[in-house]
Amino acid sequence: MAAPTIRTPEEAKGDYRDMLLRLMTRQFYAETATAEVFGRSISCAPTLRERLLAAAFAEEEADHSQRLCNLFLGLGVDPEAVFRSRPPAAQFWSLDLDNWVHVAVFNFTVDRAGSQQIMEYRDSSYQPWAEQMVAVLEDEEGHYGNGVENLRAFAKDKAVFGEFQRLYFQMLPVTVKRAFGRPTGVDNDYCVTVGLKRHTTEQVVNRYLEEMRGYMREVGLKFPPLKVFAEVGAELMPSTREILLSNQ
Ligand SMILES: [Fe+2]
Ligand SMILES: [Fe+2]
């Protein structure tokens, strides 16, 4: 049976409301922390063009954050209180915010992981949230387009590309663990049952990695060895391992 659509905040009750708030909080942490990453990169990007783009992206992430503030208010939750529970941006992402290569790897890796989750929310059973995510995803396409463009630019310089690859080895396993969480468990099943997500975590992670692999092969970027995933405690399903092993 298809999960019912929840059309208003008042209809979101009990366990459903709790899970909705958990997912929205995770997205809100990501949107607000990403606004800060791009905000800082206005002063560390190497060219004027990149600085102006960073400013535009920061504004877009601020807009995404504001949309979530409005959704929280609709549910009777104070967004400032949610914000106060978020760790500092650099700590949240384990990132050096003043290092341009860090920001570029972040844009290709972390920001896109968030978009893959938002694709689920756009189709979610909580209609007020789903509606707001349409415009958000349009912006995110632009962010990823720039992430891919940066990757291609870095690939032209062997030394910088080596640094990109090294940081990517660090950042991807942590991203898989933090952005997507555990691939199995009752919470995942619940989200799919009530329609807060339309795909399992395994499917979303695999979709993310397969999309990336296309761009990676083009420039010779490799997935990190499986042992790095094990070291950070990122759990992998057999189908996910297979994708990672296909481009080592
Ligand atoms: Fe965003
Ligand atoms: Fe973004």
∠ at Cα 113 (107, 115), nearest 5°? 90
Q: What is the pLDDT of residue 181?
A: 85
User: pLDDT-based confidence at 94, cuts 50/70/90?
Assistant: confident
Tell me the average pLDDT across 79-106: 92
2 Cα: distance to centroid of ligand 2 (angstroms): 31
pLDDT band at 178 (very low <50, low <70, confident <90, very high): confident
> Ligand 1 centroid to 153 CA: how many Å?
23
pLDDT band at residue 2 using 50, 70 and 90 as cut-offs: confident
**Which stretch of 1-5, 41-45, 148-152 has the lowest confidence by average pLDDT?**
1-5
Q: Are 178 and 229 in contact (CB under 8 A)?
A: no
| Mean per-residue pLDDT, 85-98 | 90
Answer yes or no: is pLDDT of 190 > 90: yes
Facing residues of 6 across strands?
126
CB-CB contact of 4 with 58 (8 Å): no
In the chain, % of residues over pLDDT 90: 92
Distance 146 CA to ligand 2 centre (A): 10
Q: Relative to the alpha carbon of 111, which ligand is closest?
A: 2
* Closest listed ligand to the CA of 140: 2
C-alpha distances out from residue 157 to 7, 94, 151, 207, 238, Å: 51, 25, 11, 29, 35
More reliable by pLDDT, 2 or 176: 176
The CA 213 to ligand 1 mean position distance, Å, reads 22
Tell me what the pLDDT averaged over the chain comes to.
95
What is the rounded CA–CA span in Å between residue 213 and residue 184? 23
- The Cβ-side half-sphere exposure at 82, using a 13 Å CA radius, reads 26
Decide: helix, strand or coil at residue 126: strand
- CATH number of this structure's domain 9-245: 1.20.1260.10
**Region 109-131 average pLDDT:** 96
What angle do the packed helices 48-74 and 127-154 form, to 10 degrees? 160
Domain ranges of the chain: 9-245
Residues lining ion ligand 1 (Cβ < 5 A) are: 31, 61, 64
Question: Where does the pLDDT of residue 1 fall: very low under 50, low under 70, confident under 90, or very high at 90 and above?
Answer: low
Distance of CA 140 to the CA centre of its chain: 10
Query: What would the two tokens of residue 210 be?
Result: 């397969």
CA 54 to ligand 1 center in whole angstroms: 13
Cα separation values, 228 from 13, 26, 71, 86, Å: 40, 24, 37, 26
Interval 121-173: pLDDT, tens: 999 999 999 999 999 999 999 999 999 999 999 999 999 999 999 999 999 99
First to last CA, the chain: 41
Quick one: which ligand is closest to 121's CA?
A: 1
Give yes or no for residue 16 having a pLDDT over 90.
yes
Average pLDDT over residues 70-93: 96
